[in-house]
């Protein structure tokens, strides 16, 4: 409890005068110079309600003590009132610069001293109570924030685990090797990083890219709804079968929408964009909605190129793998549909990085 007033003056008489004024309301502590005062302050910091300080004292004078209290940030704890007969205007200004609360000239007026000390003590008590309350609230908010961060991290991990499970289901349903989705993820990440660097207008960030890469494995999740007779048919599909196969994008979109309450909003949005729009083409010639240009979400554009390249260089039930350099050129020359020229430029620049991902997945058919 702050109920003590420290009087710092080398004159015993002056200390007694101030003590007589204040001892009815406060317990009085005394020091003959700044050195003694600093020891008392550091020992009884939380008990001191105010300090009354003389300027001219031996060993450590009042100005020097103020400087030390200011450097140690102690003047936020209690008010300091300078009580002196000094008339130097510059000295007064220096004291206020160090952070004193008031300046009282000797000889002192009893009522004035009592009123000023009481008002300043009340003011500082309110300020310190507010500060302590704010610190408690800040501590609570920080703990709540940490808890929310932990929950958010757990939710992200849950989202990623769910996506991985669904991606695995798609692989087995399509009879694809794990390397295909690994390549799609790797290619998507490489292309997205180049787009982020070269074309900031798309608003890609590291966090958004992580979500796009994670959701990329769901691009063909709708194929789990396609009958085996169509999905695994080794020969060419009939027109009717091909139209049914194309419905996998809408079916995948509907699947994600049906379980969207289980996921974080950003993952849901990105997954739905990719499943629905990864077969759209930049000239409007894709499906299911005939989107054109940047009507196609950037997430779907990225996965579209990544999936196309991964599919070309991989073996499947209905085709052999195409050599790396041939597949690369097919995409650049528009043989696989029209892609954004910006995205194709990133694809061109990323050729060595794409090559490393392909090699890591066991694809060795030709040089990129």
Q: Which residues are catalytic?
A: 223
Rounded CA separation 15/11 (Å)? 6
Distances (CA, A) of 128 to 47, 77, 97, 134: 13, 7, 21, 10
CB atoms within 10 A of CB 307: 23
Residue 51 pairs in a beta bridge with: 6, 80
Residue 82 pairs in a beta bridge with: 53, 103
The closest alpha carbon to 18, from 98, 110, 104, belongs to: 110
Q: CA-based angle 12:17:20, to the nearest 5?
A: 120
Rounded CA separation 310/183 (Å)? 6
CA-derived radius of gyration, the chain = 38
Residue 251 — left, alpha, or beta (φ > 0 → left; ψ -120 to 50 → alpha)? alpha
Residue 316 pairs in a beta bridge with: 319
Query: In 3-state terms, what secondary structure has residue 80?
Result: strand
CA end-to-end span of the chain, whole Å? 77
């Amino acid at each position: 409890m702050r109920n003590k007033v420290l009087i710092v003056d080398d004159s015993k008489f002056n200390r007694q005068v101030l003590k007589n004024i204040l001892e009815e309301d406060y317990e009085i502590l005394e020091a003959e110079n700044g050195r003694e005062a600093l020891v008392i302050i550091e020992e009884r910091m939380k008990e001191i309600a105010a300090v009354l300080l003389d300027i001219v004292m031996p060993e450590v004078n009042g100005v020097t003590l103020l400087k030390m209290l200011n450097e140690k940030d102690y003047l936020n704890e209690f008010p300091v009132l300078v009580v002196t007969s000094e008339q130097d205007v510059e000295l007064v200004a220096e004291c206020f610069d160090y952070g004193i609360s008031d300046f009282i000239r000797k000889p002192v007026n009893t009522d004035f001293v009592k009123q000023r000390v009481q008002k300043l003590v009340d003011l500082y008590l309110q300020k310190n109570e507010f500060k302590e309350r704010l610190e408690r609230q800040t501590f609570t908010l920080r703990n709540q924030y940490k808890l929310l961060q932990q929950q958010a991290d757990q939710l992200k991990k849950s989202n990623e685990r769910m996506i991985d499970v669904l991606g695995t289901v798609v692989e087995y349903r399509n009879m694809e090797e794990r390397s295909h989705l690994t390549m799609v993820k790797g290619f998507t990440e490489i292309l997205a990083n180049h787009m982020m660097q070269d074309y900031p207008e798309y608003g890609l960030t590291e966090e958004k890219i992580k979500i796009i890469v994670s959701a990329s494995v769901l691009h063909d999740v709708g194929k789990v709804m396609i009958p085996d007779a169509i999905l695994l048919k080794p020969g060419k599909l009939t027109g009717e079968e091909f139209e049914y196969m194309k419905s996998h994008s809408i079916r995948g979109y509907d699947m994600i929408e049906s379980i969207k309450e289980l996921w974080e909003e950003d993952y849901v949005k990105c997954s739905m964009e990719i499943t629905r729009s990864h077969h759209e083409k930049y000239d409007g010639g894709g499906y299911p909605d005939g989107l054109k240009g940047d009507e196609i979400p950037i997430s779907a554009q990225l996965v579209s190129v990544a999936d196309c390249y991964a599919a070309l260089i991989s073996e499947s039930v209905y085709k052999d793998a195409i050599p790396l350099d041939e597949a690369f050129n097919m995409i650049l020359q528009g043989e696989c549909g029209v892609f954004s020229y910006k995205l194709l430029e990133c694809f061109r620049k990323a050729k060595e990085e794409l090559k490393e991902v392909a090699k890591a997945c066991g694809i060795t058919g030709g040089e990129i």
